């Protein structure tokens, strides 16, 4: 039986509008094996993991467990790397540091996380410091889907040396069939079907504040329709700054489509109609699952508003 990622590539399935949704990310180093529900099925305290997941869901955030590329021994109690990122255009930041006790995250200011107020987050977890280098997270969670492991691990391994300390294996990013998938923080831009050359290029572009569009699934800041509209405006206008665009409004229409208003930071605004399209033929969204007709988010040509 073909892997879900092979089938998706063969069918040239649209990739835009498939990123996970989160305005903020909490990233915690957790060595060792991960289960399907990594926050409660790893060597992380499951009570703490469940509490982090519940709080994140309530505040529009996403928790990702990470480990260094390569072998995955559980090294026991030691300092762990942790990051908090805000993905909002114009209010994008990344804080990172090391903590000796994972329980220190219990003091995290969820109000600061939700509102994008870095000062509140810094005050709540003093070990954190502002970081300027992007962070690339490559999904390798085999218990979610074997494609993520079979394709994600080689990608992360290939990037380990050139992106020393800035590429990490991560838990579920969704979209197994687009493996290998990766998220770039702090902007929350998510990619699929990457190879090492493309990943290195998008990372180099991000260091210069520029957006890379090849394999772009969307920015997690926005919902699915907003992701599709933002990507369409980028292709239409040539906007290449990571924070060039913001989604101002998404209005659902009676026919199930969406009218999306996108603003460039120079003041230009674009109206984009996004339509849900059920794809044929049916295909598995994940390995070992039944075939379904997934939904694609198709954006019409953006219209510049005067």
Q: What is the pLDDT of residues 32-41, one digit of tens each?
A: 888 888 888 8
- pLDDT for position 42: 87
Question: In angstroms, rounded to a whole number, what is the distance separating the alpha carbons of residues 23 and 68?
Answer: 24
- pLDDT for position 77: 54
Closest Cα to residue 84, out of 161, 171, 23, 157? 23
CA 259 to chain centre: 24
Q: Dump the DSSP string for the chain.
A: ---HHHHHHHTT---TT-S---SEEEEEE--S-B-SSTTTSBSS-HHHHHHHHHHHHHTTEEEEEEE-SS------S--EEEEEEEEETTEEEEEEEEES-GGGGGG--HHHHHHT-HHHHHHHSTT-EE--S-EEEEE--TTT-HHHHHHHHHHHHHHHTTTTTTEEEES--S-GGG-S-EEEETTTEEE-S--HHHHHHHHHHHHTTB---TTEEEETTS-HHHHHHHHHHHHHH---BTTSEEEEEEEE-TTS-EEEEEEETTS-EEEEEEEEEE-SS-EESSTTS-EE--EEEEEPPPEEE-
- pLDDT for position 74: 59
- pLDDT for position 79: 86
Domains and CATH numbers, the chain: 1-222 (3.40.30.10)
Residue that is written with structure tokens 């394709």 in the block: 151
Question: In angstroms, rounded to a whole number, what is the distance separating the alpha carbons of residues 68 and 46?
Answer: 21
- pLDDT for position 38: 84
Question: In angstroms, rounded to a whole number, what is the distance separating the alpha carbons of residues 68 and 28?
Answer: 11
Pairing outcome for strands 167-170 and 135-139:
parallel
- pLDDT for position 149: 84
Q: Any residues with CB less than 8 A from the CB of 240 and at least 6 apart, and which? A: 210, 211, 234
Give the chain's residues under pLDDT 70: 1, 71-77
Q: How far is CA 144 from CA 1, 14, 57, 208, in A?
A: 18, 21, 19, 33
CB of 166 closer than 8 Å to CB of 134: yes
- pLDDT for position 72: 58
CA atoms within a 13 Å half-sphere pointing along the CA-CB vector of 80:
22
Is the N-terminal amide bond of 137 cis, ω within 30° of 0?
no
Is the N-terminal amide bond of 180 cis, ω within 30° of 0?
yes
């Amino acid at each position: 039986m073909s892997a879900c990622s092979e089938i998706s590539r063969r069918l040239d399935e649209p990739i835009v509008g498939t990123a996970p949704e989160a305005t903020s990310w909490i990233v915690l180093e957790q060595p060792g094996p991960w289960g399907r529900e990594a926050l409660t099925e790893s060597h992380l305290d499951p009570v703490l993991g469940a509490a982090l997941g519940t709080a994140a869901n309530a505040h529009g955030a996403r928790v990702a467990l990470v480990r260094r590329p390569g072998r995955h021994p559980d090294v026991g109690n030691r300092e762990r790397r942790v990051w908090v990122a805000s993905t909002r255009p114009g209010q994008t930041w990344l804080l990172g540091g090391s903590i000796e006790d994972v329980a220190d995250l219990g003091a995290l200011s969820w109000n600061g996380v939700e509102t994008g107020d870095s000062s509140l987050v810094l005050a709540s977890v003093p070990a954190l410091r502002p970081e300027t280098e992007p962070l690339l997270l490559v999904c390798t969670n085999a218990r979610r889907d074997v494609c993520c492991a079979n394709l994600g691990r080689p990608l992360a391994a290939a990037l380990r040396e050139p992106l020393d300390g800035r590429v990490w294996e991560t838990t579920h990013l969704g979209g197994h069939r687009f493996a290998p998938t990766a998220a770039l923080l702090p902007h929350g831009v998510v990619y699929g079907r990457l190879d090492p050359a493309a990943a290195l290029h998008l990372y180099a572009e991000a260091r210069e504040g520029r957006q890379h569009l090849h394999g772009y699934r969307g920015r997690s800041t926005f919902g699915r329709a907003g992701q599709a509209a933002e990507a369409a405006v980028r292709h239409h206008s040539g906007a290449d700054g990571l924070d060039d665009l913001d989604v101002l409004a998404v209005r659902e229409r009676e026919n199930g489509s969406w009218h999306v208003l996108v603003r460039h930071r120079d003041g230009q605004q674009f109206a984009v109609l996004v339509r849900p399209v059920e794809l044929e033929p049916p295909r598995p969204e994940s390995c070992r699952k039944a075939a379904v007709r997934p939904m694609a988010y198709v954006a019409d040509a953006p219209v510049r508003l005067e």
